Structure 1
Amino acid sequence: MITKNISKLLLFCLLFTTSAFYSCSSSKGLKSSITVNVENNSSIVKNDETVEIAWTSLKKLGVLNPAELIVMDLSSNKEIPSQVIYNGQTTPQSIIFQVDIAANTKKDYSISKGKPADYPKKVFGRQATERFDDFAWENNLVAFRMYGEALEGKAGMAKGIDFWAKRTQKLVVNEWYKLDNYHHDNGDGVDAYSVGLTLGSGDAEPIVGDEIIFPINYSSYKILDQGPIRISFELTYKPFMVDGKMVNETKTLSLDAGSQMNKVINHYDRNDLKIAAGVTKHSGDGVPKLDLENNYVAYWDLADAKVNGYIGVGVIVPTKSIDNIKTTNQHLLIISKLDKNNNLAYYQGGGWSKSGNFKDENAWFDYVRNFSQSLKQPLKVSIN
């Protein structure tokens, strides 16, 4: 009996020691936090600049619960808002946070396990089934919409990207659709931008000769991420004919808090297309800007009613595959080839004189140019 008890005790000790050894071995090299070094080596002040860290870069923190991660600004020792990015997948792809960083300076941040504060959303997007399946989205500065298939053949038929002018930090999409008078400025802003059968404030579609080929408005959508810092979604279009052959098209759009510009990726199942990204010229009373050196076109003109001030729109195509930048009767256009993955990635957006951010066309053109230059001089991010 005594011999059996001793044997059991020895077995227990052996198992405990082995378990402890493997526990220690598995935790070897793990950290309680990761330091993120951010450098702005450009001459451009970067505010609300999004930093994105791949999820795989967080493996030194061990097993992670996506809902329990904290980002700290080490200069102030204060938590800042962050968001786990899924890109429509079931598992996390990255984590993002935003920084304000002066030109030619460095800042440090940390990522660690913990329950983050409940930060308010600065972005939002949804399908507006009550208005012919518009898809509308916004951040704390601007709002946009694209038109659904249900609008085809109806009064007010439109094609491109609409711009909604805001002069409030709050989110307005739900309220404006509920009030159903967003063409009137109730104090928060107004839809005073006319799109019609054009590219609007920065859509992109195939072009053959001088003809832009529009598909039927989007037929389905998928929200990929929904705040608090980034809204991203995908729109799918029914196949349409381009130069004698059918083509499928999807658009992935994302908007970060604090930015006037969306990132857009058009994807096709053909590589032999030329794509025209551009903005609409209205009655000819506007000021155009075509800047080949900085890869953008921009336009500044009166809103639909004089009382609504001026609206600026712009498109940036940060690629070496640009064929041409030109003006037509209806548009300012950047014409480009697709990349090896059949994609065109570009940026588009708008600004409003009554928002307080853009007093005139020069202020808007400066913003678009600086945004383009900033894309060429991204933040340098390293992890320790």
Structure 2
Amino acid sequence: MKLKNFLKLLTLCLLCATFVFSSCGSQKTNVGTVTVSVANNTNIDKKAQTIEIAWASLKRLGTINPSELVVTDLAANKEIPSQVIYNGQTDPRSIIFQTDAAANSSRKFSIKKGKPTDYPKQAFGRQATERFDDFAWENNLVAFRMYGEALEGNSGMAKGIDFWAKRTNKLIINEWYKLDNYHHDNGDGVDAYHVGMTLGAGDAEPIVDNEIIYPINYTSYKILDQGPIRISFELTYKPFLVDGKMVKETKTISLDAGSQLNKVTNHYDKHDLTIAAGVTTHSGDGKPKLDLDNNYVAYWDLGDAKVNGYIGVGVIVPAKSIQNIKTTDQHLLIISKLDKNNNLEYYQGGGWSKSGNFKDESAWFSYLKNFSQRLKQPLKVSVN
């Protein structure tokens, strides 16, 4: 073989090898698709778990229109609802979707460019200007409200977090405010939980010498994300006096579909505060639960009337923040310190016997215990 022909053949072989190598590399990295692996390495079944993928992890997809992303359950080969999260910012921060995760199991999902389905909302919140600036929010299982400054000095004055019991998966806030008789059960649920001048269903405020210091009800709000899977918002309070110091407080609250509990972050401009998170014991005839091993306090008692069934409320605080758990005349409290960013992060929420999800106090307490254990042993998520 002549040298010239040999060199041509060698060049052709090298080009072919380069093409094969490039093709294999493309298949390996799967350009245009992000694959998410989710593993539950515990013995606990986990339902309606929210998977959150940082926006930076999607860079393989190139330039992205946030309204054109599709998440697919690869085992079922089926598109599932997703939501781009902004956290109140202009640019996206992450994308979320949900899955059930059986004990000791794993699943895979893909994220690609595409036109997503118009998913039905399972989480929603708004300010109710028609009712003293309540801020009300809900998901497919539960609803809550916080009271606005407009309520100060009026009949029905209250401070903490209110719980609205539901037995429907539809969103009810707009309908209930329009009907204005939500203290009566019309079939979808009822507001039968009494808050008054207490922490209610799981608020948290500074405590000084066993006295809880309440600010004026929230003054302004900002919705950070609005469904279909997550509602999140921020409430701002006027400065108030705590142990001789003026303190500024902001609450950030988020609720995901399928959860009985909100995630709450209280932020302060002072670091040397002690914070009490807790639930109201009402007349004292309910069933209390203080579980230091699982970082929660809970209460189970009748609603405002016997026909309204039993309501459970509870608070979970990460162990590293807890200083003490105690009972007072009005509350079950978890006393905590702030983290290095002057925040207290915790979870609170409620359940209802007539929802069909909680037949008694044991069922409610078990839910909180399992929720706490899931926080300690989260799903393992990897992105490829």
Q: TM-score range by the shorter chain?
A: over 0.9
1:251 aligns with 2:242: no
RMSD between aligned residues:
1.0
Q: How does 1:34-113 map to 2 (within 5 A)?
A: 34-113=34-113
Deviations 1:326-347 (A, max 9, x none): 0000000000000000000000
Counterpart for residue 19 of structure 1: none
Measured in 2, the distance between the counterparts of 1:369 and 1:56 equals 34
**What is the rounded CA distance, in whole Å, between the counterparts of 1:167 and 1:37 in structure 2?**
34
TM-score in terms of structure 1 length: 0.92
Residue equivalent to 2:332: 332
Where does residue 214 of structure 1 map in the other structure? 214
Give the Cα separation in 2 of the matches to 1:284 and 1:240: 30
- 2: CA distance, partners of 1:302 / 1:216: 29
Which residue is equivalent to 2:367?
Answer: 367
The residue type paired with residue 266 of structure 2 is N
The answer to whether the Cα contact below 8 Å between 1:30 and 1:61 also exists between their aligned partners in 2 is no
Residue pair 1:50, 1:256 contacting (<8 A) in 2 also: yes
SS in 2 for 1:107: strand
> Aligned AA for 1:128?
A
> 1:33·1:110 contact (CA, 8 Å) conserved in 2?
yes
| Partners of 2:127 and 2:319 in 1: CA distance | 31
> What are structure 1's unaligned runs of at least 5 residues?
1-23
Q: Distance in 1 between matches of 2:243 and 2:104?
A: 49
1:363 alignment partner, SS class:
helix
Aligned to 2:135: 135
- Number of the residue aligned with 2:289: 289
Normalising by structure 2, what TM-score? 0.92
**Equivalent position of 2:187 in the other structure:** 187
Q: Distance in 2 between matches of 1:315 and 1:244?
A: 28
Q: Secondary structure at the match of 1:270?
A: coil
Aligned partner letter, 2:57: S
Kindly indicate whether the alpha-carbon contact (under 8 Å) linking 1:296 and 1:368 is maintained by their aligned counterparts in 2: yes
Q: Which secondary structure does the structure 2 equivalent of 1:175 belong to?
A: helix
| Cα deviation, residue 319, structure 1 | 3.4
Contact 1:324 1:336 in 2 (8 A): yes
SS at match of 2:248: strand
2:7 is aligned to none
Match of 2:204 in 1: 204
- Measured in 2, the distance between the counterparts of 1:319 and 1:145 equals 27
- Give the CA deviation at 1:318: 1.3
Task: State the shift of 1:30 in Å.
Answer: 7.6
Do the aligned partners of 1:34 and 1:383 also contact (CA within 8 Å) in 2? yes
Partner of residue 353, structure 2: 353
Give the Cα–Cα distance (whole angstroms) in 2 for the partners of residues 42 and 246 of structure 1: 45
| Contact 1:55-1:95 within 8 A present in 2 as well | yes
Deviates more, 1:315-324 or 1:245-254: 315-324
Aligned to 2:161: 161
TM-aligned CA deviation for residue 321 of structure 1? 2.1
Deviates more, 1:37-46 or 1:219-228: 37-46
**Equivalent residue for 2:4?**
none
Q: In the alignment, is the contact (CA less than 8 A) between 1:326 and 1:332 conserved in 2?
A: yes
Letter of the 1:182 counterpart: Y
3-state SS, counterpart of residue 238 of structure 1:
coil
| Contact 1:68-1:116 within 8 A present in 2 as well | yes
Amino acid at match of 2:167: R
Which residue matches 1:265?
265
* Deviation of the 1:124 alpha carbon: 0.6
Separation in 2, partners of 1:173, 1:46: 28
Q: Is the 8 A contact 1:30 1:60 kept in 2?
A: no
Q: Alpha-carbon deviations, 1:341-363, whole Å to 9, x = none? A: 00000000000000000000000
Instruction: Give the Cα separation in 2 of the matches to 1:68 and 1:246.
Output: 46
1:10 aligns with none
TM-superposed deviation, 1:52: 0.2
In structure 2, C-alpha distance between the alignment counterparts of 1:214 and 1:346, rounded to whole Å: 18
**Unaligned stretches of 5+ residues in structure 2:** 1-21
Local SS of the residue matching 1:326: strand
Which residue does 1:125 correspond to in 2?
125
SS at match of 2:319: coil
Alignment partner of 2:311: what SS?
strand
Deviations, residues 60-79 of structure 1 (Å, cap 9, x unaligned): 11110000000000010000
Distance 1:268 1:44 in 2: 35
Q: Where does 1:307-318 land on structure 2 (aligned, <5 Å)?
A: 307-318=307-318
CA distance in 1, matches of 2:47, 2:116: 22
* Length, aligned pairs only: 358
